[in-house]
Structure 1
Amino acid sequence: MTQRTRIRRNTALVGAFAVLLGLAVPVTATASAPPGRDTLAWTACESAAADPRQQCATVRVPMDYADPDGPHIDIAVSRIPSEKPAARRGTLLLIPGGPGGSSLDDPSKKGQKLPQEVRDAYDLVGFAPRGLAPSTAVDCGLEHGDLATSRLRPWPAPDGSVDENLDTARRMADACARNGGELIRHLSTANEARDIDRVRAALGERRLSAWGVSYGTYVGAVYSQLFPHRTDRIVLDSNDDPDPARVSRAWLAGHEQGVEDTFPHFAAWASAPGNPDRVARRAADVRPLFLRLAARLDREPIPWPGANPEELNGNVLRQTMLDSLYSPGRYPALARLMRAAQQGTVPPAPAAPPEPVLQNVAAVGAGTLCNDVAWPRTGAAYEKDVAASRAKYPLTAGMPRNAMLCAAWPYPPREAPVRITDRGPSNILLVQNERDVATPLAGALKLRQALGRRAVMVTVDSTGHDAYLANGNACGDRTVSRFLATGERPDTDTYCR
């Protein structure tokens, strides 16, 4: 089996890993095929995870849209056709999170959770964004230790220092400049949106419907801004703050409030009588217990053979907390790690995706986050922000305002971030859980405000990241399904209790 095939078959394993991270007039992609004619050569998919009905194809797009006659790259796409051609409305594009996530197998997976009337109305289409295998791929060749999530999304030292983080940022950014090739300079949200429009044109569609999740909500919003006349029904699920001055820096900072919104729900679960993973007798005791354990592990890490890094320290515990709050189904992992730490032991090391997959995902994440917006270059800026964050939000210990590798990124942004506005058709439905660690409600409300009359927002009384057909509730699911199937949308913003 070739490395390319291994990456293709394992990219789906890293969805949770790919969470996170103005100079030119935006270039609008022109259609590559006349509307109404599908020009793609569909074949059977190589992925073992694909439904037998799923087909795969490749779309060629410019690497640099400012030089459309220059080098081109491949974008891998997939499709399960409408299950009732007589009812077919068009194409529903499944936009993945990340950056670094793929939706190539989503027509076979999450797409099959859609109600029948939605699967009848649309061809379900997924894709691997530029840079992510099996599309033309990038790789930074990072050191193994730098692939740890607590390095890619770095935590300050126990005393709050960011000096080591800045050293790490320089080392990682140098590796990306040395090994990433020309393509890594052209990874950006705006270029992903342009690629999507090339996919639309290749599919022969005049307009495109979409369901974007997490970072995919920002991609969907940017697509709707650059190509408003090409959009049909747009669902944005678990929404990013679109702040054009900070972009990904705002998403990272949002984890402060996301943890504060979500941790009480974990504390209630972790103190419930009868819970085999119970860590405290009262919900009020869980937070101080976690903070004490993290502080103790800062001073006295526990060896953890097979893990990356090979010790359970305070920041690894904090990272596990952040990962576990994405979904109530992950709460036991955090509770069991806390119980083990109390006893001075560790559980078996968590399984990791194959290193080539991690390298590819890390490079796509880095390139996109760092190319979208300029990050501060000096340690003083991060030290001030980290100190303020640590004082106000002790659970996240300053990480959300820390210096990641973008602080040393060698390439300036090639264009200004796309500003999301209320100009365009009113065809967007936002769905948002009230308690979401990764894309908190506070940031989603900023996207809602930016879109103005173009959007309606459904706030769901639920906990976890990904609302529709995942961690939301029946009311929210019904509202989104109705919109996709019929176009019916609430007249005003709605709360689903």
Structure 2
Amino acid sequence: MIRKRSAALVGALGLAGVLVAVVPAIAEEPGEKPKAAMTFEACPSDVAIPPIMAGLVQCAKLPVPLDYADPDGPQIELMVSRLASTRPEKRRGVLMFNPGGPGGTGLDQPAFLASKGLPNSVLDAYDLIGMDTRGVGHSTRMSCGFLATDPYYGNIPPYAGDDASVSAQAKIAEGIADRCATTDARLRHLTTANTARDLDRIRAALGETKAGFYGASYGSALGAAYVSMFPDTTDRVVLDSNVGDTYLDYEGMRRYGQGMEETFVDFARWVAARHSSYGLGRTAQEVRRTYLETGARLDQTPAADGTTGAIFRAYVFVGLYSETSYGGVARKWQEWLTPGEPPAPAPESAPAPNPGDNNLTVFLAVTCNDSDWPEDVETYRRGVAEDRKRYPLYGPAAANILPCAYWKHEPAEPPVAINDDGPRNVLILQNRHDPVTPYAGGKLLREKFDQRSRLVTAEESGHGVYVLSGNACALNLTTSYLVDGVMPARDTTCRRG
């Protein structure tokens, strides 16, 4: 997920206003433009809209089937936001957004990107559509009941130093899978395929024959599924910072280790150039060595604030999402160089809910429901051992065991297959170095979409290309595609800056 910089560490943390629930639009004849069937009113007060855009973003609710195999059965609600174009003479249609996760809120995404510099030409050309996807936030919310005291604290497992660490995490993962199975039976219907079906329902309810889509991080997987399942009703599609397929599986998770190795080089060079300020190493190699030594030391003796080696590594991993975080990571790292006594245990009290419960829940449900995961603990022990050698910075975390190994629901359908037979309308954006969705993911998606797609590679470091990376070439190419439909004639590499 791009916007929430702490998502990978703690699993990402989130009714005023009148909201009108409406039925989906229905076209009277094949090919006829559907009738708009959503009424937009004030968004809930806790939707993070920049003050300068207050009143410009509105929200509505839309009912959709919980189970698309039973369309007349139980319904759930989706909350959708809209930042409408104010230039009807330039308006092309709608552009839907997903910021990643799965499990991240997206109601604020149009306003967030607009505040970060989304060009006016895009704001003029489209109504920008955000949403909380099924199970998330202000949509029908679903929960495994995570508590603040749970030893399971993030969407990425803790760094496993040895086989015993994998075995210990396996027990935690099994307990979480059991709890999710008994807490909310609706979780089995949280899948990427169903969310893609929701997107097409939203398109129809907005009264549009086609819809554009911009998805980042996991949103790239959702967008890949959407444009594969609905090639005739998808317009211009941009997939940014790519998972590499329509779902996240064990091999996709393990690529986090690869991404950390590739991106840490940029961070290490930055820190080395500031050795007199941070004292973490005069060269990139020295910074890397300091990182490995700090993690190993904290594995044995937590810092005075209770930070363990696993937390330290996760903190640095998340800090690589953006170069703007480097200074804060380096400063905090300084505090952990000399571990002290761990803090005294807090007095016992009634367990409080984990503020990241919803994000953790939806991430697990979608990830575990989308594909079959290995069920043998030995597979994860072997993966951790392999990646401890290949990707020692973070591989033993990314390869560690998730509750998906014990998930009670088998996938209801196969993962969405990439559909390379359709219009050339998929623009793939990828930074050269990205800790969570490494360059390999962009190349994989480009190969699978074949001639439907083009790949724009930004010679940048971090998670997120369009608007967020600051790369002028990638910004211009993407804007030109969204506004004028100009797809690059060939795969393109954009130099840094």
**Structure 1 length as normaliser, TM-score?**
0.88
Give the 3-state SS of the residue equivalent to 2:196 in structure 1: helix
Q: Which runs of 4+ in 1 moved over 3 A?
A: 11-16, 18-21, 145-149, 273-278, 345-348, 354-357
Instruction: Give distance in 2, aligned partners of 1:302 and 1:257.
Output: 27
**AA of the residue aligned to 1:109:** F
Partner of 2:185: 182
Give the 3-state SS of the residue equivalent to 1:411 in structure 2: coil
Give the 3-state SS of the residue equivalent to 1:312 in structure 2: coil
Partner of 2:66: 63
Residue 86 of structure 1 deviates from its aligned partner by 1.2
Instruction: Give distance in 1, aligned partners of 2:431 and 2:420.
Output: 23
User: Aligned pair 1:428/2:426, yes or no?
Assistant: yes
User: Aligned pair 1:130/2:134, yes or no?
Assistant: yes
Give the 3-state SS of the residue equivalent to 2:158 in structure 1: coil
Residue 107 of structure 1 deviates from its aligned partner by 2.1
2:318 pairs with one of 309, 323, 326: 323
- Residue correspondence of structure 1 range 5-84 to structure 2 within 5 A: 14=4, 16-17=6-7, 32-34=25-27, 35-48=33-46, 49-50=48-49, 51-84=54-87
Residue 103 of structure 1 deviates from its aligned partner by 1.4
Residue 155 of structure 1 deviates from its aligned partner by 2.3
Alignment check: 8 A CA contact 2:160 2:397 kept: no
Q: Deviations over 1:422-447 (max 9, x none)?
A: 11111111111101111100121000
Unaligned runs of 5+ in 2: 13-22, 28-32, 344-351
**AA of the residue aligned to 1:99:** P
Give the 3-state SS of the residue equivalent to 2:392 in structure 1: coil
Unaligned runs of 5+ in 1: 1-10, 22-29, 305-310, 349-353
- Residue correspondence of structure 1 range 130-279 to structure 2 within 5 A: 130-146=134-150, 149=153, 151-161=154-164, 162-179=166-183, 181-242=184-245, 247-273=248-274, 276-279=277-280
Alignment check: 8 A CA contact 1:243 1:250 kept: no
Instruction: Give distance in 2, aligned partners of 1:495 and 1:397.
Output: 28
Give the 3-state SS of the residue equivalent to 1:461 in structure 2: strand
**AA of the residue aligned to 1:445:** K
- Residue correspondence of structure 1 range 318-467 to structure 2 within 5 A: 318-344=313-339, 355=353, 357-467=355-465
Instruction: Give distance in 2, aligned partners of 1:177 and 1:12.
Output: 29
User: Aligned pair 1:283/2:281, yes or no?
Assistant: no
Distance 1:480 1:361, change over 3 A: same
Residue 18 of structure 1 deviates from its aligned partner by 5.8
Instruction: Give distance in 1, aligned partners of 2:342 and 2:141.
Output: 35
Residue 218 of structure 1 deviates from its aligned partner by 0.6
Distance 1:263 1:492, change over 3 A: same
Instruction: Give distance in 2, aligned partners of 1:425 and 1:235.
Output: 14
**AA of the residue aligned to 1:188:** T
User: Aligned pair 1:312/2:307, yes or no?
Assistant: yes
**AA of the residue aligned to 1:33:** I
Partner of 2:30: none
**AA of the residue aligned to 2:280:** V
Alignment check: 8 A CA contact 1:433 1:472 kept: no
Alignment check: 8 A CA contact 1:94 1:106 kept: yes
Instruction: Give distance in 1, aligned partners of 2:376 and 2:274.
Output: 49
Instruction: Give distance in 1, aligned partners of 2:354 and 2:385.
Output: 36
Distance 1:15 1:410, change over 3 A: farther
Distance 1:357 1:230, change over 3 A: farther
Residue 313 of structure 1 deviates from its aligned partner by 1.2
Partner of 2:20: none
Residue 268 of structure 1 deviates from its aligned partner by 0.7
Alignment check: 8 A CA contact 2:222 2:246 kept: no
Instruction: Give distance in 1, aligned partners of 2:494 and 2:276.
Output: 28
Distance 1:59 1:207, change over 3 A: same
Instruction: Give distance in 2, aligned partners of 1:159 and 1:36.
Output: 57
Distance 1:105 1:184, change over 3 A: same
Size of the aligned set, in residue pairs, is 464
Q: Deviations over 1:349-386 (max 9, x none)?
A: xxxxx956411111111100110011111111111111
For the aligned residue pairs, the C-alpha RMSD in angstroms reads 2.4
User: Aligned pair 1:100/2:119, yes or no?
Assistant: no
Instruction: Give distance in 1, aligned partners of 2:146 and 2:274.
Output: 45
Residue 421 of structure 1 deviates from its aligned partner by 3.1
**AA of the residue aligned to 1:98:** G
